[in-house]
Amino acid sequence: MNDRHTPERGRIRIVGFDDDDNRSDNDANGDYDTDGATPTGSSAGPTTTAETETMGASTLLQPGRRLENAWRQFRRNRSAMAGLTVIVGMAVLAVFARPIAISTTEVTITLQPFSLAPSDPSATFVGPANAPPSLAHPFGTDWAGRDQFSRVLVGGRYTLSIGLVAVALALCVGVPLGAIAGYFGGWIDEAIMRVVDVLYAFPLLVLAIAIVPILEPVPILGSGYWTVVVALAVTGWIGYARLLRGEVLSIREREYVTAARALGVPDRTIIRRHVVPNAIAPVVVQATLNVGTVVLTAAALGFLGLGLEPGSAEWGAMLAQGRSSLLRGDWHITVFPGLAIFLFVLAINLVGDGINDALEPDQDGGDDRRRMR
Amino acid sequence: MSMSLGRYVGRRLAITVPVLVGVTALTFSFVHLLPGDTVDALVGFRDVSPATEVAIRTEYHLDQPVWNQYLLWVRDVATLEFGESPVTGRDVTTTIGSRLPATLALGGAAWLLALAIGIPAGIVTAVKAGEPADELGRIAALAGIATPNFWLGLILLFVFSVRLGWFRVIPPDAPLASVATAKFLVLPTITLGTAATALVMRLLRSSMRRELDAPYVATARAKGLPERTVILKHVLRNALLPVVTVAGLQLAFLVDGAVVVEGIFSWPGMGRLLVRSILRRDYPLIQAIVLLIGVTIVLANLLVDIVYAILDPRIRY
């Protein structure tokens, strides 16, 4: 957006002892100059020593306050809020598309009784085959006469959950490894980062494609959903590990880490309580943007016939028939699932940019390299 | 700072060696990680006579310890000896060699498109930051990144080839360097280049924004240089460097795109070959393609870092 000069996170700042008149600039916002009203240059952030101490203490002791500030910042970002609305809307549609029930041999517990989708996504010949959009079938029907509208709604379940679960799994691997590599350094760091370098030599989709035949025969994964999730998590953690390691390298030199070490706090606690919380912001931005990348890759796998079983209502897999149906002139089979992927990934990118502006206002526009991986 | 360019290149090469070992080891273990006997994977899970099985065990040195197998495999690979495909019976190296030019042509065209549009767009949005042109550029870039390339390809194919009939649906039976082929490549190039264009534009924009704040820009303006000269001669030259460093990532990005786009346009390249070999369980071919991609990206990153160090003498670490 514009030039916002913000001090580094968590670092105590002692400048401008003399001018007391615009002290109000930095009370409510903690260490964020949220509206850029502070004049840029040397006079930014006038603070007395006393205030510096309370400010520093409050940012260290109350992580909740920082989140609150970030949320306030985020809420003012119109495009990010629009993105969030789209994501929430799509999630609601996916959840309420068809009833969700857990059934055993004796009882069936209905968790969610609503059904927004007019027909079962796998029911064939609910209408004529390859019918263009009509009132009865707003998105038309596919080659087997299945209702495209229902399939797009239910397909959101696959796409949204694959994106979330794969990124969450990758974070569970990447964050600890990145923190350990950065904090301890030495041979541990070398070993972890060389593994990261090796995996970085392979493009995301190529690596996922190569992993699928190895994972498919694993009994608990089976062909389909979990294979795709694990393949994307295995390829996804390296980005978080590398990013977090870089942040941790600078944070482990901070005074509060030295102080904690001097007090005899165990390394595990220092990493968990002090290092990771202060280093995590760029990883959160990256993870958000990555949900988009993961969704695109999962859809590409489905499109190539390597993801979920052909015929399942996943948006990418629905497009797998797209080429032959397009050549026949049936445009509707391709347009709607693709539009759904596009909308979701666009919304994720808007939200990612918004989180970036809220958490790291000094990074103008975010680091677009993150969008590549 | 006193470190010479030669020493920097030496250190950079020293880091590359373990990575290359890792890349080859990972690709080597691919066939061994597959379930069942490795021989089954190598013959595509068909029934073979015991004599053939023995022949394959000898050819791939499966009777030796794994370490030896790996070293012998690396020796074969270094001389581009990948053996025969069990599915098609054709030599793997020849198959890849026949597909490589098509992929290089498509990838090169997409990359040129990304630079030809991404660089001017990046300059304009950086100079006009905060203005409507910048906001428009941001939206266009986000849309470019969010569009699934397979979807874009299908839509372009439908509108311009099926409905309007401007382009052929399948490649012409003409040599690669011909007008007919060049014309056919328009749609695949746009499909593959769109996301790359958006990324180049955004990267250049943010690196130019950083450079525009530098003191030398104020100096150049103060001594009365025209704004055009300041931007194009001084700022752009420095701002392009960070864009160059991601060439390795860009390459990976284009390879991923090619895997999908080539299938849509029936383009006879490596990406389509990879997908087909996966569907046919042609493991030696998959192994060779994945290795080629991995090694190319490692070497591209090495090359980029060395070029960067030559261009920017401050980079010595």
pLDDT in tens, A237-287: 998 998 899 889 888 888 888 898 889 888 888 888 888 888 888 888 889
pLDDT at residue B190 tops 50: yes
C-beta separation of A312 from A52 below 8 A: no
Q: Which residues contact A93 (CB under 8 A, 6 or more apart)?
A: A116, A153, A156
A123-127, A208-212, A298-302, A349-353, range with the lowest pLDDT: A123-127
Chain B residues close to A371, C-beta within 8 Å? 145, 199, 202
What are the tens digits of pLDDT across the range A190-204?
Answer: 889 889 989 988 888
Confidence (pLDDT) at B36: 67
Per-residue pLDDT at B215: 85
Confidence at A168, pLDDT banded by 50, 70, 90 = very high
Q: Which residue of A has its CA nearest to B138?
A: A365
pLDDT at site A174: 92
**Record: contact B275-A364, CB cut-off 8 A:** no
CA angle A196, A200, A205 (to 5 degrees): 130
Instruction: Establish if A191 touches chain B: CB-CB under 8 angstroms.
Output: no
Mean pLDDT of A358-373: 58
Rounded Cα gap, residues A2 and A4, in angstroms: 6
In the structure, what pLDDT confidence band is assigned to residue B189 with cuts at 50, 70 and 90?
A: very high
Give me the pLDDT at residue A15, please: 53
Per-residue pLDDT band at A38 (split at 50, 70, 90): very low
B147: chain A residues, CB-CB within 8 Å: 342
Least confident of A172-186, A248-262, A354-368: A354-368
Residue B73 has pLDDT above 70, yes or no: yes
Is residue A364 over pLDDT 60?
Answer: no
Share of chain A above pLDDT 90, in %: 13
**DSSP structural state of residue A139:** T
3-state secondary structure of A108: strand
pLDDT > 50? residue A170? yes
Q: How far is B290 from chain A (nearest CA, A)?
A: 7
Proportion of chain B in helix, strand, coil states, percent, rounded to 5:
75, 0, 25
Whether the pLDDT of residue B45 is over 70: the answer is no
Buried b (16+ CB within 10 A) or exposed e, B245-283: bbbbbbbbbbbbbbbbbbbbbebebbbbbbbebbeebbb
Please, which residues 247-266 of chain B have a Cβ atom closer than 8 Å to chain A? 249-250, 252-253, 255-256, 259-260, 263-264
pLDDT for residue A63: 59
Spell out which residues of chain A touch residue B149, defining contact as CB-CB under 8 Å.
Answer: 300
Mean pLDDT computed over every residue of chain A:
76
Q: With a cut of 80, say whether residue A26 has pLDDT above it.
A: no
CB contact under 8 A, A300 and B253: no
Kindly list the residues from chain A whose CB atom is less than 8 angstroms away from the CB atom of residue B249.
Answer: 369, 372-373
Residue A82 is given by DSSP the state H
User: Taking 90 as the threshold, does the pLDDT of residue B279 lie above it?
Assistant: no
Phi, psi of A100 (to 5 degrees): -110, 125
